[in-house]
Structure 1
Amino acid sequence: MISRYYTPLVLVILAITLITGCKKNFLERPPQTSIDPKDFFKTTADLETYTNGFYEMDGMTALGPGTDDVFSDNISVYLGGSEVDNMIRGKISATTVNVKSWEWKNLRRINYMLNNLQDVKGDQATIDHFKGIARFYRANFYFAMLKRYGDVPYYTTVLDANDEAALYKAKDPRTLVADSIRADLEYAASHVKPGGSATRITKWASMSMLARFCLYEGTFRKYHDESGLQGTANTFLERAASASQEIMGAGFSIYNTGKKGEDYQKVFTSTDLSGNKEIIFYQDYDQALNRSNSTHYVFDWQWSLSKSLADTYLMLDGTPFTSSPGWDKKTFADVFKNRDPRMSTTIMPPGFATNLGGIPNKIRPTFGGYAQIKFYAIDPSTKVYTEFTDLPVIRYAEILLINAEAKAELGTITQTDADLTINILRNRAGVAPLNIGMANANPDQVLANMYPQVSSGNKGALLEIRRERNVELACEGFRYADLLRWKAGKLLERPTQGIYVPKLGAMDVTGDGVEDIAILQSPEQTDPIAGIPDAIRAKLVLYYLNSNSFYLSNTTSGFIMFPENLNTPRLFDEAKYYYFPIPFQQVLLNPKLTQPKGW
């Protein structure tokens, strides 16, 4: 029989082999390393060796740092290939979707260990510890599958070639999959040991993933009324609240030395996170060991951030930027003034230089102007670029946000809850605290228009918590999943925008009062810069509207926008786009598999 644990190409080869009568039992092979469980799974050291391989798994099972939001409304333009962008432009189908998204080899590796623990000798608590790590990774695999497909086949065993019923079974319902994910994470949270390096799964990493998953599933069920699961939403939200509360009593804390934005920045640009009490789980990179990351790509390479994200950051006094006088006419050099310092450590501000003490970088209007600098920095002591900075995977700030959101959704949040969660984050940034009563009495209308599904008595508080989540976790890979669970996919069809341009001509974008770039209609139409002194004019970087890479919303002024959104408009079909289709060849191999609703 054909196992869905193999890649599509292998599946096709196996199908042909079966048709021609070959009886070779592929599924009886041990995974990758050709380990015989009778010879290998003997001691707890064997379990440690085997589970160490989980940390290097790729695909749907991978648990690594997020360093961008390229699949969301936080991006103005992205030049790389994006399945989400292709989907909302009508370019995705079951025959064109990424086939690697339906790949089960890593699940097989995990279940292989879990199915062969009977002969392991040693301390039972240690055996349970490594079993918990395996179940953690199985939960992570299925969490990713649940987000992408909803209902999927659920397996806890390594299948034999004769298990025809299991190999060709239909999808299991979301409720079974979600309950199984939670059960695995509950086991991990109860049995994985709390101590050890934060580069390995601990009790607190397990508890954090439990809280993350329960918040996702609880809010998904609450807002997706078409699922018919709204009545069970609170069960998950209550566990998200209690799990995050337990972590809040475990000794973690927000990194805060009183340096506002600099403290926030160091969480993402440090060469050593081992002693940072905000970090629950991270990946360690080291130049001496030649372990590097790719964070230098976040800056001005293939994408920039959006006006909608920039507008989300509050003023220092806690008032919305979108309620300040003339907010929609502020130039690039002005929009950063008196704003939440997290903005200028996430989005490139005037005066930012990639070299210490170097020449300030100029914005690129062709990208929208809001370049990402979060995760991009130079170590001031070594002048090594950020390829060797440690990267957080789970940090305490997310736990505080989970706690606040879960309680707000449950209707139980108090001002004390806000002070122990959201306001700890605002305090680090130097932003005025959130007042729950005032927020509920006067919800921000811009946020209310973004999230029309929010209608509870805690509407204002929920909206501010969503603002805080987007600001604090910007570019860490959470935004797209948040839009899914909040049933806010319609935000993805809004045409993206960049900076405001008051008129054609020269602009100061480095904050020194001297013009740096100019936007003109064409190379021939230079009247807007005719009065610029020759010395300044000679250094201007020129951009032209007739290049068709961008345009202005009011023709010769306004927000930077992008022709692609005119040529191929975005449309988020809520009847189908909250899931991806299963690759066609998988449905062909197993006719009992049905596509997610709408596909």
Structure 2
Amino acid sequence: MRTIHVVYIFALILLISACKKEDFLDRFPQDAISEPTYFKNENDLKLFLNYFYDALPVQRGNSEGNSDNFAPGSRDVFLAGEYVVPATDDNWNYTGWSNIRNVNYFLNRYQRAEMDATLKSHYAAEAHFFRALFYWEKVKRFGAVPWLSTDLADTSTAILYGARLPHKQVMDSVLVDLNFAVSNAAEASNAQFAGRITVDVVNALKARICLWEGTFRKYHALGDHEPWLREAVTASDELIISGRYGIYKTGNPDRDYYNLFIQEELRGNTESILARRYIKDVSMHNLTRQISDVWPALTKNFVRSFLDKNGVPTALSPLYQGDETLDDEMIDRDPRFRQIIATRGFSFTNNANGTRDEMTLPRIPGVVTGYAGVKNYSPDPAQWNANQSTLDLFIFRYAETLLIHAEAKAELGEADQAVIDKTINKIRERVGMADMVIASLVKDPDSDFPTLPVLLDEIRRERRIELVGEGFRFDDLLRWKAGALINNAETILGMKLTPALRAQYPSGQVSNVQVDANFYIRVYPNITNRTWHDKMYLYPVPINELTLNPALLPQNMGW
């Protein structure tokens, strides 16, 4: 029952969202539930907290257009260096702080409920979980931010936003919230909390946040990184030793990874720590339709990062057949290659009459790089109807937890073969990929991280492949202080389109597709590479908010 089903109550929505700036939390609107009659019992607490579940980070296979993994046809404004300080930003303006304000509202009133104290603490743990999540998102985007923990009885700018506190100070408070949640959340075995925030879900978030913060502090030279890495190890280890989770596999290594992301029911799937359930005519989404409308186009840089199936980088492997064509490129590669990228024989459509629309040539120019990402894409036409897909989507996936554990242990210098066997090699086992053997690792001469120890380098590669498209890559570049990887010309190049391959397409289909001197597709013909500026490690504070509250100064560096 590690799933989520959000209940919407109209009056509750009014209670939380109808408040405007001029009267926020001054009093409840007359047409909503009144404060004196609310927070009286368990149902009140549960319904209030249900509002926040929609903010959980659902993992979608097309959500990394802002990284070096994908090159969307419309280039990312931020990575293109064209982003300017906005007048306002929905991540900072009044609405942007509403979730944090509402969590605080709950935390200052939930004790009124007349119910079992332990049960009451379970719901308080949910609130602390959400506040930790919301604040981490603020810190990732803006760095120093105000910390709000009390009711906002005064609507003045100073009370509403306050002064910005340093990154480390805010994140230390985030860790306090996470630890409270770990100590008080319901056990995963508690049927009453099936589909809600349990201690396992909290540990999954804690592991994710602590790895991010520990490596951010290390690579940005902020200091005090080791305790965070140890917290990441502890949280991930709790999930590993629980025995409740495992890597999904059915004995079909050529399909299991792909099939994992096109399931209509993740309830009971051992890889699901928490997933978003979608039910026909109740709650549906549009992801498969979005993918079929605008195909996620993977970059040459990402595709080159696949090892061969023997676990050796292509620059060193005797198995590598080159990249003159996609058919050559996929030979003897990591088996996830064909489960992440559409290759010859991939079925785009499985019709009810038994016919299939199978790929022969890469579908350019529709897929602007030629490398079509197929994660979360279902060939079932029933999933293509607008806003009617019922495929469940992960929020926390066990494979990520294993990758967190391996990386945190390696950062601490404690990743021996036993650690790799219970993490990386468990993931590789699903697809029949060669084990990672520490003693046999050889530094890739084409590594994006030439000065990084080979073990960390290979763990980062494994993370990039296994989690591609799920929304982690830009955050990873931030925490590793690796934004300059965006400068690599291959992050905006696609597959090779040689004259011989071009001639196989119908006349005119690819006539406007431009290539570079080596015949790699140029996604953006007017530029040959992007330029990273270190100010891009943070977004700027919007102009209106700085004007209203000078206490928010100084502006983030470089903006």
- TM-score interval (norm. to shorter): 0.7 to 0.9
- Aligned partner of 1:530 in structure 2 is none
1:463 maps to which of 457, 460, 463:
457
Give the 5 Å matches for 1:163-202: 165-167=158-160, 169-195=162-188, 196=191, 199-202=195-198
Larger RCO, structure (CA 8 Å, separation 6 or more)? 2
User: How many angstroms does 1:300 deviate by?
Assistant: 5.9
2:499 maps to which of 485, 496, 503:
503
User: How many angstroms does 1:293 deviate by?
Assistant: 3.8
Is 2:58–2:395's contact at 8 Å kept on the other side of the alignment? yes
The 3-state SS of whatever aligns with 1:304 is: coil
2:420 maps to which of 400, 418, 421:
418
Give the 5 Å matches for 1:375-394: 375-378=376-379, 384-385=383-384, 387-394=389-396
1:346 maps to which of 340, 355, 367:
340
Question: Which residue type is aligned with residue 179 of structure 1?
Answer: D
Distance 1:354 1:120 in 2: 53
Is 2:297–2:371's contact at 8 Å kept on the other side of the alignment? yes
Is 1:299–1:371's contact at 8 Å kept on the other side of the alignment? no
- Aligned partner of 2:207 in structure 1 is 211
CA shift in 2, pair 1:137/1:149, >3 Å: same
1:29 maps to which of 17, 27, 30:
27
Give the 5 Å matches for 1:352-363: 352-356=346-350, 357-361=355-359, 362-363=361-362
User: How many angstroms does 1:96 deviate by?
Assistant: 5.8
Question: Which residue type is aligned with residue 206 of structure 1?
Answer: V
Is 1:185–1:210's contact at 8 Å kept on the other side of the alignment? yes
Distance 1:159 1:111 in 2: 9
- Aligned partner of 1:119 in structure 2 is 112
Question: Which residue type is aligned with residue 589 of structure 1?
Answer: L
Is 1:279–1:392's contact at 8 Å kept on the other side of the alignment? yes
Distance 1:77 1:323 in 2: 30
Per-residue CA deviation, residues 488-532 of structure 1 (Å, 9 max, x unaligned), is 10112323111112325546xxxxxxx4x2xxxxxxxxxxxxxxx
**Mapped pair 1:584 → 2:543:** yes
- Aligned partner of 2:12 in structure 1 is none
Question: Which residue type is aligned with residue 401 of structure 1?
Answer: L
**Mapped pair 1:598 → 2:537:** no
Per-residue CA deviation, residues 435-463 of structure 1 (Å, 9 max, x unaligned), is 11222xx211222xx12462xxxx11101
- Aligned partner of 2:330 in structure 1 is 336
Distance 1:427 1:463 in 2: 20
Give the 5 Å matches for 1:292-307: 292-299=285-292, 301=294, 303-307=296-300
Give the 5 Å matches for 1:125-524: 125-161=118-154, 165-167=158-160, 169-195=162-188, 196=191, 199-225=195-221, 229-230=222-223, 232-251=224-243, 252-289=245-282, 291-299=284-292, 301=294, 303-324=296-317, 328-356=322-350, 357-361=355-359, 362-366=361-365, 367-378=368-379, 384-385=383-384, 387-439=389-441, 442-447=442-447, 450-452=448-450, 454=452, 459-495=453-489, 496-504=492-500, 506=502, 515=504, 517=505
- Aligned partner of 1:95 in structure 2 is 86
Instruction: Mark the structure with the bigger radius of gyration.
Output: 1
User: How many angstroms does 1:107 deviate by?
Assistant: 1.2
- Give the number of aligned pairs: 522
The 3-state SS of whatever aligns with 1:443 is: coil
Question: Which residue type is aligned with residue 78 of structure 2?
Answer: M
Distance 1:563 1:168 in 2: 40
Question: Which residue type is aligned with residue 86 of structure 1?
Answer: V
Distance 1:309 1:221 in 2: 26
- Aligned partner of 1:529 in structure 2 is none
Distance 1:412 1:343 in 2: 30
Is 2:424–2:436's contact at 8 Å kept on the other side of the alignment? yes
Moved more, 157-166 or 245-254: 157-166
Distance 1:238 1:134 in 2: 24
Per-residue CA deviation, residues 416-448 of structure 1 (Å, 9 max, x unaligned), is 000000001111111110011222xx211222x
The 3-state SS of whatever aligns with 1:282 is: strand
The 3-state SS of whatever aligns with 2:538 is: coil
Per-residue CA deviation, residues 212-244 of structure 1 (Å, 9 max, x unaligned), is 00000000011112xxx23x0111001101111
Question: Which residue type is aligned with residue 77 of structure 1?
Answer: P
Distance 2:220 2:286 in 1: 37
- Aligned partner of 2:7 in structure 1 is none
Structure 1 runs not aligned, ≥5 long: 1-5, 15-24, 508-514, 518-539
Question: Which residue type is aligned with residue 552 of structure 1?
Answer: V
**Mapped pair 1:561 → 2:522:** yes
Per-residue CA deviation, residues 52-98 of structure 1 (Å, 9 max, x unaligned), is 121124xxxx432333211110013332xx6xx32233322223674
**Mapped pair 1:551 → 2:551:** no
Is 1:299–1:372's contact at 8 Å kept on the other side of the alignment? no
CA shift in 2, pair 1:499/1:156, >3 Å: same
C-alpha RMSD over aligned residues: 2.5
The 3-state SS of whatever aligns with 2:111 is: coil
Give the 5 Å matches for 1:32-111: 34-57=32-55, 62-68=56-62, 69-79=64-74, 85-95=76-86, 98-102=89-93, 103-111=96-104
User: How many angstroms does 1:190 deviate by?
Assistant: 1.7
User: How many angstroms does 1:33 deviate by?
Assistant: 8.1
Among the aligned pairs, what percent are the same residue?
Answer: 35
Is 1:31–1:109's contact at 8 Å kept on the other side of the alignment? no
Distance 1:40 1:541 in 2: 68
TM-score (norm 2): 0.87
